[in-house]
Amino acid sequence: MEQNQPAPNTRRIAIDPVSRVEGHGKITLLLDQDNHVQEARLHIVEFRGFEKFIQGRPYTEVPYFVQRLCGICPVSHHLAAAKAVDQIVGVDELTPSATKLRRLLHFGQVLQSHALHFFHLSSPDFLFGFGSNLAHRNIVGVLEDHPDLALKGVKLRKYGQQVIAAIAGKRIHGTAAIPGGMNKSLSNDERKVLLGDIADIIAWSQDAVALNETIHLQHPENHAFATLSTNYLGMVGSQGEMELYHGGLRARQADGSEIFDQFDYTQYGSAIREEVRNWSYMKFPYLTAIGKDKGWYRVGPLARVNLCDSIPTPLAEAARVRFRAFAGGAYVHDTLAYHWARMIEMLHCAEAIQELLNDPDITGTDLVVHGEKRAQGIGVIEAPRGTLFHHYQVNEQGLIEKANLIVSTTSNNQAMNESVRSVANHYLDGQEITEGLLNHLEVAVRAYDPCLSCATHALGKMPLQVELFSHNGELLSRATKNSDGCAVTPHPLAPSPSRGEGEQEIQSLSPSPLEGRPCKGLGAGLG
Amino acid sequence: MSNMFFIDGQEIAFTPGQTIMDAALAAGIYIPHLCHKPGLTPQGSCKLCTVDVDGRSASACTLPATAGMKVDNNTPALQEVRKTLLQMLFVEGNHLCPTCLKSGDCTLQALGYHLGMLDGHFPPFYPLREVDASHPDVLLDRDRCIVCALCVRASREVDGKNVFAIGRRGANARLIVNSPSGKLGDSDLAADDLAAHICPVGAIMPKNHGFEVPIGRRTFDLHSVAESDVATPVTLKKTEHHDE
């Protein structure tokens, strides 16, 4: 299925862009004359380059720099980088007030992101049907037909952003974390305002859980939709409970058997490696314990709700128990259950926000700890879309030398492609292709809530292919840059060089290869 | 009539030898500027204080006031000229406000807001400039230098040192460091020198600090750049912790 060369007598269909996701990507289908699917792929066509262009910048700028990766969950990047910078300034533990402020900020972030994803982006698919009228299948349609539901969604997101603004100064791209702590605490007035609405937020989050639970239970046809039996990776607390800000890593196979648990994330390089394939700007990570072929895994709400032994807030825990009971206590592999799990997490965030707002430490002013400088820092958090890794090395002058980011969506890359293939095979194969059928592919991708902007940050390692066609569509020449940065120009019309050959060592943070560097014996570079 | 002149029709007193700028600031009248600080020798390089004096353009920071002089300052035409000058300063360097730790305390940024600058207008130069992080306490980021020479004058005239100079000419002019290696770490700059704190932009910054002043409490969150008490003391607040 995953092939590079279009076979004769095939036609290609592209969904470009994939809509109602963050960032820009496209899905391509290769169909033969009988509409049988020969190939189905999710391509990530954006290019960002953050890992490269923060090199040479002072480490103090990094938490503010990298949050610009995204406008949906900038707080996740801000906090992951801040945790790494804490280590660079020699701080392993913040003051209680600073830790709780960061947790509150993060819960606000996850809440608003999850609300955005379900209500604004995904709910039209479930309220109107995957193949329903395209013109109506959007948030405006939801506002017309279900105004109460849509407004609750808008207000849930707004509340999460109010939490962020109270702590970071702005809803998007504020400032909060500084090396070794936070730059402000919550005032009593801010606390009162936020507490004033929290009961509604919890109630509406419960409604959202119930709605998703009902949708999933009442639509058995959704259970196998794009469903994959996969490994899962996520963070858990010391007691195995759900933990979004700081804990150990847990990875388990589809049957629940352990791969690792309470794994120190600063050693992530020994647990995860990344593969580069020459048709996508997004890398393919895998668990080294399982290997490249079967070591791919899923992250995000489905992984976290499956992996944790409990959720430390009562309403969300009750919802988790019902969720797991759906699969008879085993892991829920239904890809569309991502939405259900996401709403359980939103409920957990709402409850956790209430707890933190009632905690006296949240208005404390002891906010900064100092330490001795170190040469590197690794920060990991559970972002709304999954486990997020930030790794920085600095020189003796405090400038960034190397950076590696493994963004949540990257971890779901293989799974999203597998889901797209699954849907293509089951729903589209042999059919006359319609927009409604094509939306099924997007529904599969949308379940993962991918942030394609965040996920394409590498520079210098990107594979690239340039093809020259004649006016009648005949391929005249092709130039390819491999994932190791080597540029090759094969003989015109010769098969493309082997794909999927790239592999990046994480632990060593190997420097980016020279762009356009000629490969030995393989001819001239790309221009 | 003696020792009086007019700015936008308002009669202003001056002392003999006083520049238009200093007389205006003393009278609470704001004339936009970047390279000027009372007490230091006027430089006249940023040209943002361009005013019309009896029908001719002049720099308010270098031209002495004379009796009966008629100065146009806050006119739409002059504000437009100043905005254009500001846009040229922005595109000539690499001014990335979203990630610059001077954001909110930066006079260049504040003037952008004050003059209603919505874009750079001109194609950016994207110059390749060197970051000098060799000093243990002070970072020199030439990407943001606007060659105002405030640090040059502060070092010479207040600190009694000679740490900075402007090298080369014209479009190639850039801030250089007077040390054997040309690096800040080899100079005698001290963290509490005025030269280490006077930069109106983010070119000379204290190292090892993040956004310690939260949004809402930064200099230009609380004050307009046109307030003369803000315009006069160009100091950095990054090392203070303002949470109360």
* Residue B211 touches chain A, beta carbons under 8 Å: yes
Write down the mean pLDDT value for chain A. Answer: 85
Report pLDDT for A283: 82
Same domain membership, residue B153 and residue B194:
yes
Q: Please give the share of chain A, as a percent, with pLDDT higher than 90.
A: 63
**Would you call the peptide bond into A17 cis, given omega within 30 degrees of 0 as the criterion?**
yes
Name the more confident of B239 and A265.
A265
Same domain membership, residue B115 and residue B45:
no
CB contact (8 A) between residue A174 and residue B131: no
Same domain membership, residue B102 and residue B67:
no
B208 contact residues in A (CB cutoff 8 A): 60, 89, 179, 398
Same domain membership, residue B209 and residue B115:
yes
A69 C-beta neighbours (distance < 10 Å), count: 23
A61: nearest CB among B101, B214, B216: B101
Establish if B89 belongs to a structural domain.
no
C-alpha to C-alpha distance for A472 and A26, rounded to whole angstroms? 25
Q: Please give the share of chain B, as a percent, with pLDDT higher than 70.
A: 93
| Cα torsion angle, A105, A108, A114, A119, sign | negative
Same domain membership, residue B226 and residue B147:
yes
A170: nearest CB among B99, B210, B215: B215
Q: Which of residues 115-174 of B touch A (CB under 8 A)?
A: 131, 133-134, 139
Establish if B103 belongs to a structural domain.
yes
Q: 């859980």: which residue's tokens? A: A209
**Residue B187 binned pLDDT confidence (cut-offs 50, 70, 90):** very high
CB contact (8 A) between residue A179 and residue B207: no
Report pLDDT for B42: 94
Report pLDDT for A43: 78
Establish if B87 belongs to a structural domain.
no
- Is pLDDT at A496 greater than 70 in this prediction? no
Identify the CATH number of the domain in which residue B217 sits: 3.30.70.20
Strands, sheet with A400-406, edge to edge from the N-terminal-most edge strand: A376-383, A386-394, A400-406
**B3: distance to nearest CA of chain A, Å?**
48
What is the amino acid identity at position A213?
A: E
* pLDDT tens, residue by residue, A305-354: 999 999 999 999 999 999 999 999 999 999 999 999 999 999 999 999 99
- Based on its alpha-carbon atoms, the radius of gyration of chain A, rounded to whole angstroms, reads 23
Report pLDDT for A460: 35
**Residue A516 binned pLDDT confidence (cut-offs 50, 70, 90):** very low
Q: 């940050």: which residue's tokens? A: A457
- Is pLDDT at B241 greater than 50 in this prediction? no
- Is pLDDT at A459 greater than 50 in this prediction? no
Strand pairing partners for A488?
A: A480
Establish if B82 belongs to a structural domain.
no
Same domain membership, residue B207 and residue B148:
yes
Establish if B120 belongs to a structural domain.
yes
Q: What ipTM goes with this model?
A: 0.90
Report pLDDT for A473: 58
Q: Please give the residue range of the domain that contains residue B136.
A: 98-231
Domain count, chain B: 2
Establish if B56 belongs to a structural domain.
yes
Same domain membership, residue B126 and residue B65:
no
Assign 3-class secondary structure to A98-158.
Answer: HHHHHHHHHHHHHHHHHHHHHHHHHHHHHHHCCCCCCCCCCHHHHHHHCHHHHHHHHHHHH
Chain A residue whose CA is closest to B101: A61
Burial readout A471-483 (b: 16 or more C-beta within 10 A, e: otherwise): eeeeeeebbbbbb
Report pLDDT for A498: 38
Report pLDDT for B204: 97
- Helix or strand holding residue A191 (H, E): helix A188-218
Same domain membership, residue B184 and residue B227:
yes
Tell me the two tokens of residue A108: 């606000």
B70-72 vs B138-141, strand pairing mode = unpaired
Same domain membership, residue B102 and residue B60:
no
Establish if B144 belongs to a structural domain.
yes
**Residue B40 binned pLDDT confidence (cut-offs 50, 70, 90):** very high
Interface test mutation site (partner B, options A55, A183, A365, A370, max chain B beta carbons within 10 A): A183
The torsion region of residue A222 among left (phi > 0), alpha (psi -120 to 50) and beta comes to alpha
Identify the CATH number of the domain in which residue B48 sits: 3.10.20.740
* pLDDT tens, residue by residue, A30-77: 888 888 888 888 877 666 788 888 999 999 999 999 999 888 889 999
Report pLDDT for A46: 62
Sketch out chain A's domains with CATH numbers. 1-45+421-452 (no CATH), 91-226+348-370 (1.10.645.10), 463-527 (no CATH)
The structure's pTM equals 0.87
Report pLDDT for A104: 98
CB contact (8 A) between residue A61 and residue B216: no
CB contact (8 A) between residue B211 and residue A168: no
Write down the mean pLDDT value for chain B. Answer: 91
Q: 């128990």: which residue's tokens? A: A321
Question: Angle A413-423/A435-447 helices, nearest 10 degrees?
Answer: 150
C-alpha to C-alpha distance for B24 and B121, rounded to whole angstroms? 30
Establish if B112 belongs to a structural domain.
yes
Contacts of residue A465, defined as CB under 8 A and 6 or more positions apart, other chains included, come to: A278, A279, A478, A479, A480, A481, A496
Same domain membership, residue B164 and residue B68:
no
Helix, strand, coil shares of chain A, percent, nearest 5, are 40, 20, 40
Strand pairing partners for B176?
A: B165
- Is pLDDT at A138 greater than 60 in this prediction? yes
C-alpha to C-alpha distance for B203 and A471, rounded to whole angstroms? 53
Same domain membership, residue B70 and residue B113:
no
Residue length of chain B: 244
Last residue of a domain, one of B36, B59, B74: B74
**A379: distance to nearest CA of chain B, Å?**
17
- Is pLDDT at B203 greater than 80 in this prediction? yes
Interface test mutation site (partner A, options B99, B128, B132, B221, max chain A beta carbons within 10 A): B99
Chain B residue whose CA is closest to A56: B131
**Residue A21 binned pLDDT confidence (cut-offs 50, 70, 90):** low
CB contact (8 A) between residue B101 and residue A60: yes
Same domain membership, residue B188 and residue B121:
yes
* pLDDT tens, residue by residue, A385-441: 999 999 999 999 999 999 998 888 889 989 998 998 999 889 888 877 788 888 888
